[in-house]
Structure 1
């Protein structure tokens, strides 16, 4: 069925080349997989090659995306080529079939680093104060506003919890959809009457750990 394969490849090029060409490095390669088979491969300049028709290997980026259709990225050792590579996979549909679009980059590629906050500027009444990030005990989302706390005092910030989570240093930990805490301010972790975890901060504040963040909290704090 060579003609069928050619039609698919042209269709894929038209759909996806324009999407990625403006932002991927010139030496990046593009692989597209549908139904556990690679149907397209465009090689960059770092000497890797993939035959169209090759089966998707288990635990490759394409394999992961095909089974869990979310954006996925990782440095891979040898699940696709004979050399390590950095790959970013995206779920797509090709002629109504689920597929994976994989951008293949050299292993030396590193993701742009997002600068972490060194301070947050908070508002009290009509005054604004820049507070060093390490002095903040916890951050709270309440009534569509974000508040952070230092020495028991409350400050309002315009930064959302979602944005804060991506730019806070690793001393901060999300424990609930409404709370992020500074782990240096934890006094103890205990269970409430319903056997859910509660974190007691050094200033006496008690905050619940929600079930959706339980595994992350236990993993980070190692208990």
Structure 2
């Protein structure tokens, strides 16, 4: 399929989706075509390599349709993607990907589970969220409890002006960071208002510094 014909086809496919959906066409190594939406733009350019961790990469690696949330590590914004590889003569030649903005949530509370029941907690009271022992712990000003959401799911639902993913195991509320220290084992260490020390990994350091402006 010539690129011109492929572009025309993708333009038509794009008409089937809402204005919130971006459409991507790639071969097995790089992006060939990108149509950004009004709601989400990953800043992809034709010729850019397919990066590890993207939904396109995962679909090509699996050799089948993949749909899941992708956190903001790769492109700087989280998104929900659906990618389907296409084949010719039995060999995978590329992938078509649809990129959707993260789901919005009108709720402003997190309902955490405690031993004696559930407690609704406003977003503004959450200090940080930690994944450990195959559970998600929500630490607030007055309570500690668990939640069924994963950190990736919280990364899409929490307001981005307050919450930052700083590590594969942590999301922090920037309003409750007391101090930031350099560290030899990780890029930074955050001291939260409850004196908990939270690491900032190398993967998240650049985005973290950009948002906090230092």
TM category, shorter? 0.5 to 0.7
Instruction: Flag the 1:63–1:92 CA change in 2: closer, same or farther, 3 A.
Output: farther
Which SS does the other structure have where 2:153 is aligned? helix
What residue in structure 1 maps to residue 179 of structure 2?
A: 188
How far off is 1:24 after superposition?
A: 2.9
Mapped to 1, the partners of 2:132 and 2:55 lie a distance apart of 30
What residue in structure 1 maps to residue 94 of structure 2?
A: 99
Instruction: Flag the 1:24–1:182 CA change in 2: closer, same or farther, 3 A.
Output: same
What residue in structure 2 maps to residue 165 of structure 1?
A: 155
| TM-score, normalised by the number of residues in structure 1 | 0.58
Instruction: Flag the 1:145–1:194 CA change in 2: closer, same or farther, 3 A.
Output: closer
- Mind listing any 5+ residue stretches in structure 1 that lack a counterpart? 39-58, 73-87, 104-109
Whether the 8 Å CA contact 2:186–2:200 is kept in 1: the answer is: no
CA RMSD of aligned residues (A): 4.1
How far off is 1:60 after superposition?
A: 6.5
Whether the 8 Å CA contact 1:147–1:156 is kept in 2: the answer is: yes
Number of residues of Structure 1 aligned to a counterpart in Structure 2: 165
Determine which structure has greater relative contact order: mean sequence separation of CA pairs < 8 Å that are 6+ residues apart, divided by chain length: 2
Alignment of 1:15-54 (within 5 A): 24-25=16-17
Mapped to 1, the partners of 2:45 and 2:185 lie a distance apart of 40
What residue in structure 2 maps to residue 63 of structure 1?
A: 47
- Mind listing any 5+ residue stretches in structure 2 that lack a counterpart? 33-42, 57-80
How far off is 1:112 after superposition?
A: 7.4
How far off is 1:195 after superposition?
A: 6.6
Whether the 8 Å CA contact 1:34–1:94 is kept in 2: the answer is: no
Which SS does the other structure have where 1:169 is aligned? coil
The answer to whether the aligner puts 1:134 opposite 2:116 as a matched pair is no
The answer to whether the aligner puts 1:114 opposite 2:104 as a matched pair is yes
Whether the 8 Å CA contact 1:93–1:99 is kept in 2: the answer is: yes
Whether the 8 Å CA contact 1:116–1:168 is kept in 2: the answer is: no
- Pick from 126, 150, 157 the counterpart of residue 140 of structure 2: 150
Which SS does the other structure have where 2:204 is aligned? helix
Q: Deviations over 1:24-45 (max 9, x none)?
A: 33999x8967699x8xxxxxxx
Mapped to 2, the partners of 1:177 and 1:197 lie a distance apart of 14
| TM-score, normalised by the number of residues in structure 2 | 0.60
| Structure exhibiting the larger radius of gyration computed from Cα positions | 1
